[in-house]
Amino acid sequence: MDISKKNCFVFDLDGTVYLGDRPIPGTIDFIRRNLGRREIFFLTNNTSKNLGDYIKKLANFDLHIGLDRILSPLLPLVDYLQEQKIRRIYPVGNRSFQVFLRERMPDIEFTSGEDCQAVVLGYDTELTYEKLATSCLLLQRPGVRFFSTHPDLVCPSAQGPLPDTGSFVKLYEAATGRLPELVFGKPNTVILSPLLKRFRKEEMVMVGDRLTTDKLLAENAGIDFILVLSGEAKREDLPHLERQPTLVVDDLGSF
């Protein structure tokens, strides 16, 4: 792959650009050098934060970008709820998640009543047993739909992996026998649809640290993938892959 011919870079965040509050220097340097010269976007499956939170966090690393540069499962989730006229939901998500939904859908109603149309599961960093119990009871109703923002089993942090939405899904499957009918985050290409409409696939590249989401998203979308070894995936994982990443690097500092 000739990286100089790539015009659209899509960066995963957790494990690729930073770990917790610690920046990954080589990749940060590459982004700084190329902001304004190439089209750079940031994609996260983490729905415990809204889009503005990421703008502020990246600014701490001297990366100043607009809201239109952040891709999140929250965006296709809202689009789908609006298209389907689903406005009465039970959200299993933290305050930031709920605030974002209210901002984007002023007519949304959070309810566990008989009129509830769907349980919507995000990365709930304020999860309680009450939320789990209420949502499981709702999912025993055949008419209540079930959506999840993303499939990640764990969320990387500087201290180690933390349970994420995919782990919660396993709990719901065990307790209710149900799985989400739609999962909006990577590797579902719906999260990339705004860019796939704007750019040719050959000028796009996904940069990430995960084989099960980042790499698979790139393959599903038909674009190149750069694996950085700064997060979840390790070099010893590579021989077992049926299909190798386009490029494997420690970080992007050498480009």
- Residue 156, pLDDT above cutoff 80: no
As a whole number of angstroms, the distance between CA 251 and CA 255 comes to 9
Asked if residue 137 is part of any domain, the answer here is yes
Asked if residue 145 is part of any domain, the answer here is yes
**Tokens representing residue 103 in the block:** 């901002």
pLDDT digits (tens, 9 = 90+) for 161-186: 889 999 999 999 999 999 999 999 99
Asked if residue 254 is part of any domain, the answer here is no
Please compute the mean of the pLDDT values over residues 133-141 and round it to a whole number. 98
As a whole number of angstroms, the distance between CA 26 and CA 227 comes to 14
Shared domain for 134 and 34, answered yes or no, is no
Q: How confident is the model at residue 231 (pLDDT cuts 50, 70, 90)?
A: confident
Asked if residue 103 is part of any domain, the answer here is yes
Which residue is associated with the tokens 């709930």?
124
φ, ψ at 167 (rounded to 5°): -70, -40
As a whole number of angstroms, the distance between CA 174 and CA 171 comes to 5
Domain end, chosen from 183, 212, 241, is at 183
**pLDDT value at residue 187:** 97
| R_g of the chain, CA atoms, integer Å | 18
Asked if residue 215 is part of any domain, the answer here is yes
**Tokens representing residue 4 in the block:** 């100089």
As a whole number of angstroms, the distance between CA 8 and CA 251 comes to 18
Shared domain for 198 and 118, answered yes or no, is no
**pLDDT value at residue 216:** 97
Shared domain for 88 and 149, answered yes or no, is yes
Secondary element (H or E) of residue 19: strand 18-19
Please compute the mean of the pLDDT values over residues 113-141 and round it to a whole number. 98
- Residue 255, pLDDT above cutoff 90: no
Asked if residue 255 is part of any domain, the answer here is no
Domain end, chosen from 183, 216, 231, is at 183
Asked if residue 107 is part of any domain, the answer here is yes
Q: How confident is the model at residue 14 (pLDDT cuts 50, 70, 90)?
A: confident
Buried-state track 137-176, b at ≥16 Cβ within 10 A, e below 16: ebbeeeebbbbbbbbbeebbeeeeeeebbbebbeebeeeb
Cβ neighbours of 181 (radius 10 Å): 10
Shared domain for 219 and 176, answered yes or no, is no
Shared domain for 116 and 210, answered yes or no, is no
As a whole number of angstroms, the distance between CA 188 and CA 108 comes to 25
**Listed residue (186, 184, 181) closest to 117, CA to CA:** 181
Shared domain for 190 and 179, answered yes or no, is no
Answer whether 27's CB lies under 8 Å from 253's CB: yes
Q: Which structural domain range is residue 98 located in?
A: 74-183
Domain end, chosen from 130, 159, 183, is at 183
- Residue 222, pLDDT above cutoff 90: yes
Shared domain for 27 and 152, answered yes or no, is no
Answer whether 211's CB lies under 8 Å from 231's CB: no
- Residue 157, pLDDT above cutoff 80: no
Shared domain for 87 and 173, answered yes or no, is yes
Q: What percent of the chain has pLDDT over 90?
A: 88
pLDDT digits (tens, 9 = 90+) for 66-102: 999 999 999 999 999 999 999 999 999 999 999 999 9
Shared domain for 11 and 62, answered yes or no, is yes
Shared domain for 203 and 176, answered yes or no, is no
What's 177's DSSP letter? S
Q: How confident is the model at residue 239 (pLDDT cuts 50, 70, 90)?
A: very high
**pLDDT value at residue 197:** 96
Shared domain for 175 and 86, answered yes or no, is yes
Asked if residue 229 is part of any domain, the answer here is yes
CATH code of the domain in which 224 resides: 3.40.50.1000
Alpha carbon 211 to chain centroid, angstroms? 14
**Total domain count for the chain?**
2
Note the helical H segments in 60-94. 74-83
Please compute the mean of the pLDDT values over residues 6-23 and round it to a whole number. 93
**pLDDT value at residue 2:** 86
Residue type for position 136? C
Shared domain for 54 and 36, answered yes or no, is yes
Please compute the mean of the pLDDT values over residues 210-217 and round it to a whole number. 95
Q: Which residues pair with 18 in a beta bridge?
A: 14, 23
